[in-house]
Amino acid sequence: MSSLSAADPRPLALPAETVRLVAVVLLCGFALFTQLDAVSNRLAVGPASPLALMIAGVPASAFLLLLSGGLPSCARGTDGARLILVLLLWMVVCWTLSEHRTEGYDYLVKISTAVLPALCLMLVADRPGHLLAIVWAMILAGAFASVVVILESRSGTRIFSTALAAVTADFEGVARSAGASDQNPTTAAQMLMTSVALALGLLFSGEKRFRLVLAGVVLVGAAALALMSARSAILGFGAGAGIVLLSLRKHKAFPLILVATGIAGAVGLMFAPPTLWERFAAIGDFGKDQTLFRRISYLRIGADLIGQSPIWGVGPGNFPLYYITDPYRWMPGRIPFPRELHNTYLDVMTELGVVGFALFATLLTHCFLQLRRALAGSPELARVTFAVLVALVALLVGCFFMPHKDMRYLWLLIALAIQCGRIRAGKIRVGERA
């Protein structure tokens, strides 16, 4: 009669893989409800909303996976995870040196709900199929949000959103939809843009399954983005589409693709809502778009604060408190309410100093190097990688106009990019326990 020794890993194989599957499902739920947070809030029972349960469940399942012996090989090739952890550690250092520690602590808690699931993704998603499932969760969230935007724009009502930032935004008296999110419409539009960019990238990556679904998401999502009238999201989506066109430059039908793209763009412009035209026409017209004064003030105040504390910045979450202080009360367009710096890169440098900015820039560079490596991987991995590349470029362009260093979709894309490269490099043994 044979017996299994305590060192035999086989008894742990089934539970480890079961826990891994649960963790991936929870990550998909996190990706889904991050964009559909208004739906999650409607479904909440007290503080226990589906999104809150996902945020708690993802690290819990990763910890269970560790206990079940399912993580050994994930200890290798963790340069990206180390960069993220060092950046988080530097945030804590900056927080200890900041003036507004209470607000800074609240911000650290907020950003941890974005970064921790991303770190867990790098622990549990050990094969291209897992990454693809998370990408599809983001795409389906965007599809649902697009339908809500179209319905709200046609009816003039709010279906799911209840938060003040989501239901009060307008441009020249025209209400702007936040889709199925309780975030402000511009942030909601950038999450939707990320989903549509993922669908576009996957559609042109060589993916043969669900092509009609992907094409439908792109068309409906593009229409919803136009109705949301978020200039930054449309510019970001344009950058993502440019990456797709660039990837097709060697295709024998590339001239026809360019012509078709031009025709599609012209048709889209013909049917674009008047509000979108007016918002783009207002660029440079300070009399028509008063927010332009405020955006310039953000940049000027940020630059001034960098000069005051260039190494460690003013501390995470501290810029809004400096924004309303007396030294800046005469800045054009400034309002007497805390506001974030609407440029992710300058925001990082202002709150975390040049050291924090260097770490953030190094992390993004590492992501693109990993994506470049993974594009030469297996067909399935290459398809997921291309979709992530398109979406990451689109969102990073959008980051020039919004404060997104705590955006959950940004950190999900960063984790997906790093994981694509790790799988390609063999740091994770595909098909075996990670």
163-192 pLDDT, tens digit per residue, is 887 777 665 556 778 899 999 999 999 999
Per the structure, how many domains does the chain have?
A: 1
In a domain, 434, yes or no: no
CA 55 to chain centre: 15
Average pLDDT of the residues in 374-394: 95
Average pLDDT of the residues in 129-147: 97
Average pLDDT of the residues in 277-283: 60
CB 226 within 8 A of CB 272: yes
Q: What is the dihedral of CA 181, 185, 190, 194, to 10 degrees?
A: 40
CB 421 within 8 A of CB 165: no
Percent of the chain with pLDDT over 90: 64
As a whole number of angstroms, the distance between CA 137 and CA 31 comes to 6
Alpha helices (H) in 36-127, listed in sequence order: 37-42, 50-67, 79-96, 101-124
- Say what the pTM is: 0.91
Average pLDDT of the residues in 193-218: 94
In a domain, 340, yes or no: yes
pLDDT band, very low/low/confident/very high, at 149 (cuts 50, 70, 90) = very high
Phi–psi pair at 171, nearest 5 degrees: -135, 115
In a domain, 298, yes or no: yes
CB 363 within 8 A of CB 87: yes
DSSP assigned state of 431: T
Residue 385 reports pLDDT greater than 80:
yes
Which pLDDT value is given to residue 8?
47
DSSP H or E run through 235:
helix 231-247
Which pLDDT value is given to residue 2?
43
As a whole number of angstroms, the distance between CA 249 and CA 242 comes to 11
Q: Of 120-134, 260-274, 308-322, 407-421, where does mean pLDDT reach its minimum?
A: 260-274
Residue 74 reports pLDDT greater than 60:
no
Q: Of 8-12, 172-176, 393-397, where does mean pLDDT reach its minimum?
A: 8-12
CA 326 to chain centre: 34
Q: Which residues pair with 48 in a beta bridge?
A: 45
In a domain, 381, yes or no: yes
Q: Which residues pair with 175 in a beta bridge?
A: 170
In a domain, 409, yes or no: yes
As a whole number of angstroms, the distance between CA 166 and CA 186 comes to 9
User: In this structure, are strands 170-171 and 174-175 parallel, antiparallel, or unpaired?
Assistant: antiparallel
pLDDT band, very low/low/confident/very high, at 428 (cuts 50, 70, 90) = low
pLDDT band, very low/low/confident/very high, at 415 (cuts 50, 70, 90) = very high
Q: Of 46-55, 134-143, 243-252, 263-272, where does mean pLDDT reach its minimum?
A: 263-272
DSSP assigned state of 170: E
CB atoms within 10 A of CB 317: 27
Range of the domain at 222: 14-67+78-424
As a whole number of angstroms, the distance between CA 118 and CA 58 comes to 9
Which pLDDT value is given to residue 275?
66
Average pLDDT of the residues in 360-375: 96
In a domain, 6, yes or no: no
In a domain, 40, yes or no: yes
As a whole number of angstroms, the distance between CA 93 and CA 187 comes to 28
pLDDT band, very low/low/confident/very high, at 432 (cuts 50, 70, 90) = very low
Which pLDDT value is given to residue 231?
87
In a domain, 99, yes or no: yes
